[in-house]
Homo-oligomer: A and B are copies of this chain.
């Protein structure tokens, strides 16, 4: 029923081995023979059997990309960049690699499941994006998996995620969330703000912690008390931003600025402030993080920290493919850039 390598070989009047060689392009084959084989492939509409080929070669053309939330452009942009470097020639068997993105939904279990699935498939490489969950047992489980993947020859790259000390073979491209958070809050303090609310992401996430640490460092540097009542945790979505802002306002109506964990959350914060009859930035300044495409369209445009998501993703993809030298020590820090726009201004008097 289904046409196999042998069928192609028969039609091209060569041995199966030769067909395999032209398909993989790893061995010298006479031009005329190659020609004949390729024609046979075309005539028969032959498609290589991936599993068989992976079994024999003990490696596959699959490259996994793990994201926390595929509906969030933050991950979408990185995933697109990574995948763009993975597709195209370079793999075995006709030269196309299959870059696939897996959505963990931020769930530790699903993260491990996907890692196992990818291990089962003997993936050529795996790229993990975004913040990690800090729960110790889970972190250890992930590190163990990464080590095993590495041992099995799978290249592991972390993109926008802190290095995993227990899995040293994983190359890490880390975002400087701490520095970015600090810059942002410094900017607000510089404008004169002293009562700043902070909407943090989910607890137990590295991204959340680092951004918050940056914020606190800035406060500390300017002798501003870090009132715990001015920090609220929530998910990385607009609704969390909306509700957290209402809560912050309830706790302290005299706030003059709200710093959000990311741009999406900031959007929710803006909505809440508007509904409360507060003007941005006249009454309350708002700042986000990431500089996603829609941030510039907010009204007023969002002050935020731009992260080079595309560039970092592309680099991670290239490293995963072995087409770029890993950074020295296997770790590189990618900095953000403060984008000052209309949503922040001097505090009301």
Interface residues of A (CB under 8 A from B): 2, 45, 47-55, 60-62, 64, 69-73, 75-77, 79-80, 83-84, 87, 93, 96, 98-103, 105, 110, 113-114, 116-122, 148, 152, 237-238, 264, 267-268, 270-271, 274, 293-294, 296-299
Contacts and interface: CB of A to CB of B under 8 A. Distances in A.
20 contacts: A2-B152, A47-B116, A47-B120, A48-B120, A50-B54, A69-B80, A70-B101, A72-B73, A76-B76, A80-B103, A84-B105, A87-B110, A93-B120, A98-B121, A99-B102, A100-B100, A100-B102, A238-B297, A264-B294, A267-B297
A98 B118 CA distance: 8
Chain A residues touching B, majority SS: helix
User: How many copies of this protein are present in the complex?
Assistant: 2
Contacts of A2: 152
A53 B113 CA distance: 18
A156 to B, nearest CB: 16
Contacts of A102: 83, 98-101
A122 B70 contact: no
A310 B250 CA distance: 34
Given A51-B121, A298-B297, A76 B83 contact: no
Given A49-B120, A55-B51, A152-B2, A96 B113 contact: yes
A99 B270 CA distance: 36
Given A84-B103, A84-B105, A96-B113, 19 more contacts: A2-B152, A45-B148, A48-B120, A49-B55, A50-B51, A50-B54, A50-B60, A50-B117, A51-B51, A51-B52, A51-B121, A51-B122, A71-B77, A96-B117, A100-B102, A237-B293, A238-B293, A267-B294, A298-B299
